[in-house]
């Protein structure tokens, strides 16, 4: 860690080393060399004056980049791509004349961006699946545990702890679908030339259109892609970046919703995020256990949501075949979107894997509200004993208002049940009413919904991706 200059917190505190490497200079420049090798191989195969020996020389120096030469050259020429072409040529004297043959800077720059985004999306996909797996296990374990459900943050009816977890999972499945769609849809820029017309390559191949098209196919195949963009200017459309980052913003939306729920539940003392043995919750209040990880998810999600506007603005403001006002914004916004999404999922995995539940508190809170929720069931039982439904409804309304006043204004216990037992209009004793007040009777199809959702939708996805279920991120803070 440097102490005398700014460093991104994503690198020092939040994002994984794996994601950081994807957006590192080393990854970028090694990918440039892969692209130059792919170009030379394809040109050799299609009959241009590129020899097998030249290709072999390029391959021999694919990894050992002479950064000192490239950096010194860039100081002189102020052009990163040409500096690395020069440095590569120093190492490959036989091949230096054919490096970058027919290409423009965006051949290496844009194709590299697509390759890195695809690898980044695949890493995020793995982490999404691991979060889903932890939450699925949690949902199964707590599918039958009744808890208060809320509308407007006011107690409404009952749900179960596991059913609530399925809501979190369901949104993550939408994110997974979006991420997979973006992975499947990514195409290389290919070899399009200065304004996207492929004029330089058409000249190299003496007007042979089929060879120009074959060149792109060979390059794409060598980099593991089955397609290139059909048309472009000098760059691939910046809407690609916008669409990818929008998928990452979707992860932020889902994670933020989860983190808000967790922060509220921790306030209710119903659930908590993991708390380390020696963790300090507050510098002033030693007893506190703050939901700091969930709060961090909220904070990073807010950043990612705001940052996701950048690629859209960049796409909207490009001029004709390209302008360079995309570059400085793009290299920050896209990279940091991936680092933020990675950091969010690292924390989400950690929290989801160690969720703490306090059943007695949950039950206590349910029982304080259940008498109000059970009034219709109580009324129906009294009607079966011969009571008048309309009269009983009015009596319950009066008793409910009186009990609510006692709770809210006097700070006393809810005595609604005692009031109903004491009212001869209901003809019910306390045992009969307490039999009605069984929380499990008020959760509707919650248990069945959890079982159906996990069995029919979630578990098949997890089974298909069993080989990815091993992500255990190490949190720095």
105-130+171-354 folds as Fumarase C; Chain A, domain 2 (1.20.200)
Give residue-wise pLDDT tens across range 283-306. 444 445 789 999 999 999 999 999
Distance CA 241, CA 117 (A): 9
pLDDT at position 280, please?
46
Q: Which residues are catalytic?
A: 152, 282
- Which pTM was predicted? 0.92
User: In the chain, what are the domain boundaries?
Assistant: 16-91, 105-130+171-354, 375-436
Which helix (H) or strand (E) is 161 found in, with range?
A: helix 161-185
375-436 folds as Ribonucleotide Reductase Protein R1; domain 1 (1.10.40)
Alpha helices in 292-374 (DSSP H): 292-307, 309-316, 327-352, 359-373
- Chain CA centroid to CA 146, Å: 29
Q: CATH number of the domain at 16-91, please?
A: 1.10.275.10
pLDDT at position 1, please?
62
pLDDT at position 471, please?
66
In order of 368, 387, 389, 392, 405, the CA distances from 395 in angstroms are: 20, 11, 10, 5, 16
Q: Which residues of the chain have pLDDT under 50?
A: 278-280, 282-287
- Angle of CA points 472, 476, 477, to nearest 5°: 115
Number of alpha carbons in the 13 Å side-chain half-sphere of residue 160: 24
Rg of the Cα trace of the chain?
Answer: 31
Token pair for 39: 């170009």
In order of 134, 135, 272, 356, the CA distances from 275 in angstroms are: 17, 18, 8, 9
Domains 16-91 and 375-436 belong to one CATH topology? no
């Amino acid at each position: 860690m440097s102490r005398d200059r700014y460093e991104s917190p994503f690198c020092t505190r939040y994002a994984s080393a794996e994601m950081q490497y994807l957006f590192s200079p080393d990854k970028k420049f090694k990918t440039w060399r892969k692209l130059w090798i792919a170009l030379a191989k394809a040109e050799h195969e299609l009959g241009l004056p590129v020899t097998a020996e030249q290709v072999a020389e390029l391959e021999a120096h694919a990894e050992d980049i002479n950064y000192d030469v490239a950096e010194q050259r860039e100081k002189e020429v102020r052009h990163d791509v040409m500096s690395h072409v020069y440095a590569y040529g120093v190492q490959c004297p036989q091949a230096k004349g054919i490096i970058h043959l027919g290409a423009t800077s965006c051949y290496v720059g844009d194709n590299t961006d697509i390759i890195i985004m695809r690898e980044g999306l695949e890493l995020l996909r793995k982490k999404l699946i691991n979060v889903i797996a932890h939450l699925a296990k949690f949902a199964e374990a707590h599918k039958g545990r009744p808890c208060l459900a809320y509308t407007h943050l006011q107690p409404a009816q009952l749900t179960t702890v596991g059913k609530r977890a399925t809501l979190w999972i369901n949104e993550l499945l939408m994110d997974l679908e979006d991420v997979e769609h973006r992975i499947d849809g990514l195409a290389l820029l290919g070899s399009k030339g200065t304004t996207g017309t492929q004029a330089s390559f058409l000249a190299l191949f003496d007007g042979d259109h089929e060879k120009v098209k074959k060149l792109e196919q060979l390059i794409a195949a060598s980099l593991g892609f089955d397609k290139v963009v059909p048309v472009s200017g000098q760059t691939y459309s910046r809407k690609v970046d916008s669409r990818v980052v929008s998928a990452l913003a979707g992860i932020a939306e889902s994670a933020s919703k989860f983190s808000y729920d967790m922060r509220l539940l921790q306030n209710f003392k119903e659930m908590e995020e993991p708390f380390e043995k020696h963790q300090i919750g507050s510098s002033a209040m030693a007893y506190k256990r703050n939901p700091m990880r969930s709060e961090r998810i909220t904070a990073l999600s807010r950043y990612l949501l705001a940052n996701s506007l950048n690629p859209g603005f960049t796409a909207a403001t490009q001029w004709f075949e390209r302008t360079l006002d995309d570059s400085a914004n793009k290299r920050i916004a896209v990279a940091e979107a991936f680092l933020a999404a990675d950091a969010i999922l690292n924390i989400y995995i950690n929290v989801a894997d160690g969720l703490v539940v306090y059943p007695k508190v949950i039950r206590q809170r349910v029982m304080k509200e259940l008498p109000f929720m059970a009034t219709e069931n109580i009324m129906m039982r009294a009607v079966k004993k011969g009571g008048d439904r309309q009269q009983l409804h009015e009596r319950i309304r009066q008793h409910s208002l009186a009990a609510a006043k006692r709770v809210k204004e006097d700070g006393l216990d809810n005595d609604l049940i005692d009031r109903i037992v004491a009212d001869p209009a209901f003809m019910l004793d306390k045992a009969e009413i307490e039999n009605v007040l069984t929380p499990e009777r008020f959760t509707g199809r919650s248990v069945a919904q959890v079982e159906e959702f996990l069995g029919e939708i979630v578990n098949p996805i997890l089974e298909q991706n069993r080989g990815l279920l091993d992500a255990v991120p190490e949190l720095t803070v």
